[in-house]
Amino acid sequence: MKVVVGQGSCGIAAGAGKAFDILENKLNKNHELTFTGCIGMCYLEPIVDVYNNDELHRFVKVSGEIAEKIAEAVNNNDFSISAEYEIADDDKAFLSSQTRIALRHCGLINPEKIEDYIADNGYEAIKKCVTQMTPEEVIEIIKISGLAGRGGAGFPTWFKWNAARNSESEDKYLICNADEGDPGAFMDRAVIESDPHTLLEGMLIGAYAIGAKEAIVYVRAEYPLAVKRLKKAIKQAREAGFIGKNIFGTDFSCDFTIKAGAGAFVCGEETALIESLEGSRGMPRLKPPFPAQSGFLRKPSNINNVETFANVAWIINNGGEKFAAMGTETSKGTKVFALTGKVNKGGLVEIPMGKTLRDVIFGIGGGIRDGKEFKAVQMGGPSGGCIPAHLLDTVIDYKALSATGAIMGSGGMVVMDESTCMVGMAKFFLDFTAKESCGKCTHCRIGTKRMLEILTRITEGEGKPEDISLLEELCYSIKDGALCGLGQTAPNPVLTTLKYFRDEYTDHIENKHCTAHECSKLVKYKINADACRGCTACAGKCPTDAITGEVKKAHLIDRDKCIGCGTCMATCRFGAVEVE
Amino acid sequence: MTLFNSKNDSDLSLLDETLERYGDVPENLITVLQSAQEIYGYLPTDVIIRISQRMGVPITKIVGVATFYSQFRLTPIGKYLIMLCKGTACHVNGADGIYDAISSHLGINDNETTEDGLFTIKCVACLGCCSLSPVMMINDDTYGSLTPEKAINILDSISQKEGNA
Ligand SMILES: Cc1cc2nc3c(=O)[nH]c(=O)nc-3n(C[C@H](O)[C@H](O)[C@H](O)COP(=O)(O)O)c2cc1C
Ligand code: FES
């Protein structure tokens, strides 16, 4: 039998390494033990798959104990003893309701084995391109497919390739943007950790199409495992002759380098990324000239996102029409989302464009945790916006999502429930953008800081009636005045929360009240003397020693010492801590 | 704030291999700084001067780059680097509470190091394990689904191990 342990970063963090070690020790040697990348059901990690000929037994939340049981089951070929640890039918739908193209190999192949990739038509698409097609024909197929950039802006990929193709130069560069800056998104990490050769093949096809001899992958600093697997993949592909000189005996040559980012959100913006590749501070350049004319080292360059490239080999193998057959009028193919936050089933979701937000959050994601109320979903991270409950039937389509004030973004989908304060959320994002602003242009540097100050005082109960209009004025002037996408989109979280949750702003300003009970300066806790059993648990947990009382007698919170953190409320097993 | 830890006794020979490999191309500056930080744990002043001389890149530019990117440090860190995620998913799931707990437990703020040189706290935005939020990483190990209590227990077990060692 073949036993496969999911070992993406989140699987490992959840304890997949331990499960692997136990299986390695306990399994009889006639069974094959291997690993795969991210299966995508992060909420069930660690996951172990056992293939008994064609039969799949999938075990979830595999602790050390369960791993021992699995080994026993495999060794004795008796799965009745481990049946209770297998995935529930309800959870199986998480994967079966998806359509996977970019993620087509994730969780199925061993990312560190090129043979696994080759076994599923791997490197056939680049072979077809270089031996049977002109670069123009390749670009034509991508045009037919309707593939648009998955990094956020959704710009047609063929158009960028064509522009770079038409730029005259001996040296051109093909660059992959794997900076994945949206905090709360991990689609690109999953692709690289789970299927690095798909990225390499897509990039090779792009390099052939534009006429580049060098390809560069710019990977986020916080992704050590992705870098490790990518390095290994490049080495294997080079040894196999897919990378390097005269690929498939043709005169197409292309080599790869990896550059690790150093922790700066703005470097996801393509011109800042180029500055960073050149060893400088990542400050965006004015456009035009566009990278297609003057990019890395002032040579024509083309930059695409990881997921964009991950679709390319599939499109070449299956035809542009087949890709374009999925989706809506304006958005073709599928999109990968990283579904997280207060949702029941968090993980990686790839679905055809045209499905609704409800399909994703309530269908695949299984709705909201702990029976709470859905409040909003944040799409596009700090550059995007929130979409409230009454718009849950919005379809996943570049145009439809932009119409809400949010954006498709790169795929981050953070779900919020009634306990999330929307003013607090806006403040959270402005805190992020103000810190990450590179400082080159005044509007972004100072404007985001001023907005953060206003939002901070609103959440602390010091808001003034004129603050809302001041915020709006700042939003529009930053949008108009900022040099790059970071500043131009930074006001979006404020604009969308103002649009859909204006009441919460006024409630904070006028009534000094936070409905979500999240703004600690506005929440006052008290202990209900009748419900309190005097167990002292809250007093022990209180970080400021604000709670006093004797054992078995009702406790008391000292108003002056209380910082409103809510630890007591979370600790109390008797529901005795209340908000005033 | 002191930008520099004006150290002048680093073993510069440790840097030779990196400079040999990448030092000729000024575009490699970030790669060289990453490798230097890997070696020394941070970027000591004498190391910066050495890199500047070898690569022909002005010290001002190096410091400019080193202070722009959050990965680089100009002062030493503790033996255990706690990278606490404050990304969106972790924020929604209570990262602030985890921060308050570990910060008051250790008596240090973001970017500070405990007096015994054991722990440094650094808040980051997203470790890519959002489904396990809230998340922190201590050196190479990731810990997910944290509660304030769980986070403190993890720190305590490290302190204990170090105390006994
Ligand atoms: C502030 C900012 C951050 C960005 N971050 C990313 C990122 O992390 N990953 C990404 O692929 N694109 C990011 N982009 C978009 C890129 O500038 C660029 O449009 C994209 O990489 C192009 O690839 P695509 O056409 O395949 O989407 C960012 C843009 C801005 C303005
Ligand atoms: S937001 Fe914390 S790991 Fe992604």
- Ligand 1 centre distance from Cα of residue B119 (Å): 35
A510, A539, A560 - which closes a domain:
A510
Q: pLDDT digit string (tens) for A280-297?
A: 999 999 999 999 999 999
Residues 6+ apart with CB under 8 A from A383: A152, A182, A407, A409, A485, A486, A489, A490, A492
In A, minimum Cα distance to B86 occurs at A183
A485 to chain B, minimum CA–CA distance in Å? 18
Ligand 2 geometric centre to CA of B137 (Å): 11
What is the model's pLDDT at position A320?
A: 98
Looking at CA atoms only, how far is residue B23 from chain A in angstroms?
A: 12
In ligand 2, the atom with minimum distance to the C-alpha of B133 is 2
Same domain for B33 and B54: yes
Report yes or no on B107 lying in a domain: yes
Assess whether pLDDT exceeds 70 at residue B5: no
The closest residue, in CA terms, to atom 29 on ligand 1 is A269
- Domain co-membership, B100 together with B54: no
* Nearest ligand to the CA atom of A410: 1
**pLDDT(A220) > 80:** yes
Contact call for residues A154 and A324 (beta carbons, < 8 A)? no
- Any domain includes B42: yes
Q: Which of B28, B71, B93 sits opposite A263 (nearest CB)?
A: B71
Residues of B with Cβ-Cβ distance to A259 under 8 angstroms:
30-31
- Cβ A42 vs Cβ B132: under 8 Å: yes
- Confidence (pLDDT) at A304: 98
Domain membership of residue B145 (yes or no) is: yes
Residues B113 and B61 occupy one common structural domain: no
Question: Which residues of chain A lie closer than 8 angstroms to B71, CB-CB?
Answer: 221, 262-263
Residue B111's domain is classified under what CATH number?
3.40.30.10
Ligand 2 centroid to Cα of residue B86, in Å, is 7
Q: Which amino acid is at B10?
A: S
Q: Does residue A15 lie within any of the structural domains?
A: yes
In-domain check, residue A40: yes
> For position A537, which CATH number holds?
3.30.70.20
Nearest CA to ligand 1 atom 30: A269
- The answer to whether residue A76 sits within a structural domain is yes
From chain A, the residues in CB contact with B127 under 8 A are 9, 222
Domain of residue B56 covers 12-68
Contact by Cβ (8 Å): A259, A277: yes
Same domain, B139 and B114: yes
A276 alpha carbon, closest ligand: 1
Q: Which of A45, A338, A420 sits opposite B92 (nearest CB)?
A: A420
Q: What is the pLDDT of residue A221?
A: 83
What is the value of pTM for the model shown? 0.95
Total domains in chain B come to 2
Locate B127 and state its tokens: 């470790």
Q: Return the closest-CA partner of residue A142 out of A314, A352, A300.
A: A314
From chain A, pick out residues whose CB is under 8 angstroms from the CB of B124. Answer: 222, 263
Task: Tell me the chain B residues in contact with residue A279 when contact means C-beta distances shorter than 8 Å.
Answer: 26-30, 57, 65
B165 band by pLDDT with thresholds 50, 70 and 90: low
**Could you say which of B47, B68, B89 is where a domain stops?**
B68
B30/A185 CB distance under 8 A: no
**B130 vs A223, A261, A340: nearest CB:** A340
Over residues A310-344, the pLDDT tens digits come to 999 999 999 999 999 999 999 999 999 999 999 99
Q: Which of B130, B132, B145, B150 is the best mutation test for A, with the most CBs of A within 10 A? A: B130
Same domain, A368 and A496: no
B57 pocket-lining for ligand 2 (C-beta < 6 Å)? no
Query: Is residue A580 packed enough to be buried (19+ CB in 10 Å), middle (13-18) or exposed (0-12)?
Result: exposed
pLDDT of residue B2 exceeding 60, the answer is no
H or E element, residue A380: none
Domain boundary among B68, B97, B113: B68
Confidence check: pLDDT of B54 > 80: yes
In a domain, A265, yes or no: yes
Residue A544: predicted pLDDT: 83
State whether B149 and B87 are in the same domain: yes
On whether residue A329 sits in a domain, the answer given is no
Look at A43 and B131 and tell me if their CB atoms are within 8 Å: yes
Q: Is the dihedral of CA A78, A80, A81, A83 positive or negative?
A: positive
pLDDT at B6 over 70: no
Interatomic CA distance for residues A170 and A398, integer angstroms: 36
Answer with the one of A295, A324, A353 that is the final residue of a domain: A324
Give CA–CA dist A439/B138, Å, rounded: 31
Measured between CA atoms, the residue of chain A closest to residue B64 is A281
Closest CA–CA distance from residue B147 to any residue of chain A (Å):
10
Same domain, A62 and A160: no
Using CB atoms, which residue from B26, B57, B133 is nearest to A340? B133
On the question of pLDDT at B8 being above 80, the answer is: no
CA distances from A52 to A57, A104, A465 (A): 8, 22, 67
How far apart CA A261 and CA A276 sit, in angstroms, is 8
Ligand 1 atom at minimum distance from A154 CA: 27
Is B32 a member of any domain? yes
Pairing of strands A525-527, A577-579: antiparallel
Q: Which of A171, A186, A517 to mutate to test the interface with B (most CBs of B within 10 A)?
A: A186
Q: For residue A385, what are the contacts with CB-CB under 8 A and spacing of at least 6?
A: A378, A379, A404, A405, A406, A407, A492, A493, A495, A496, A497
Q: Do B130 and A346 touch (CB under 8 A)?
A: yes
Q: Are strands B136-138 and B141-143 parallel, antiparallel or unpaired?
A: antiparallel
**Is residue A269 one of the residues assigned to a domain?**
yes
- Which member of B83, B92, B132 has the closest CB to residue A414? B92
Do A382 and A433 lie in one domain? The reply is: no
Q: What are the tens digits of pLDDT across the range A222-241?
A: 898 999 999 999 999 999 99
Dihedral pair phi/psi, residue B154, rounded to 5°: -65, -45
Ligand 2 atom closest to the Cα of residue B88 is 1
Residues B98 and B118 grouped into a single domain: yes
Shared domain for A413 and A431, answered yes or no, is no
Indicate whether B52 and B30 sit together in one domain.
yes
**B46 and B105, same domain (yes or no):** no
Q: Do B28 and A185 touch (CB under 8 A)?
A: no
* Contact (CB, 8 A) for A446 and A459: no
Shared domain check, A426 and A404: no
What pLDDT does residue B1 have? 41
Same domain, B120 and B150: yes
Same domain, A239 and A122: yes
Q: Is A490 helix (H, G, I), strand (E, B) or coil?
A: coil
End residue of a domain, out of A398, A417, A436: A417
Do B100 and B140 belong to one domain?
A: yes
Say yes or no: A438 and A318 in one domain: no
Asked if A52 and A67 touch (Cβ cutoff 8 Å), the reply is no
Asked whether residue A349 falls in the same domain as residue A446, the answer is no
Q: What is the pLDDT of residues A51-67, one digit of tens each?
A: 999 899 999 999 999 99
Q: Looking at the structure, tell me whether residues A187 and A62 fall in a common domain.
A: no
Give yes or no for residue A308 having a pLDDT over 80.
yes
CA of A525: how far to CAs of A424, A520, A546, B101, in Å? Answer: 19, 10, 11, 19
Residues A153 and A238 in one domain: yes
Contacting residues of A for B148, CB less than 8 Å apart: 541, 567
User: How much of chain A, in percent, has pLDDT values that exceed 90?
Assistant: 94
Q: Which ligand 2 atom sits closest to the C-alpha of B85?
A: 2
| Claim to verify: residue A343 and residue A227 sit in the same structural domain | no
Residue A67 contacts residue A111 (beta carbons within 8 Å): no
**Would you say residue B3 has pLDDT above 60?**
no
Atom of ligand 1 nearest to the CA of A268: 5
Question: Is B94 found in the same domain as B64?
Answer: no
Structure confidence at residue B4 as a pLDDT band (50, 70, 90) = low
Binding-site residues, ligand 1, Cβ < 6 A: A 149-153, 155, 177, 179-181, 266, 268-270, 303-305, 308, 410, 484-486
CB contact under 8 A, A282 and B69: yes
Residue B114 lies in a domain: yes
Cβ-nearest to B132 among A14, A276, A279: A14
Interface contact flag, B69 A565, Cβ < 8 Å: no
Domain that holds residue A342: 334-417
Tokens of A225: 């495992």
Are A41 and A141 in a shared domain? no
Kindly report the CATH number assigned to the domain that includes residue A453. 1.20.1440.230
Q: What is the mean pLDDT of chain A?
A: 96
Q: How many CB atoms lie within 10 A of CB A316?
A: 23
B141-143 β-sheet, strand order: B119-124, B80-85, B136-138, B141-143
As for how many domains chain A has, the answer is 5
Cis, peptide link before residue A46, omega less than 30° from 0: yes
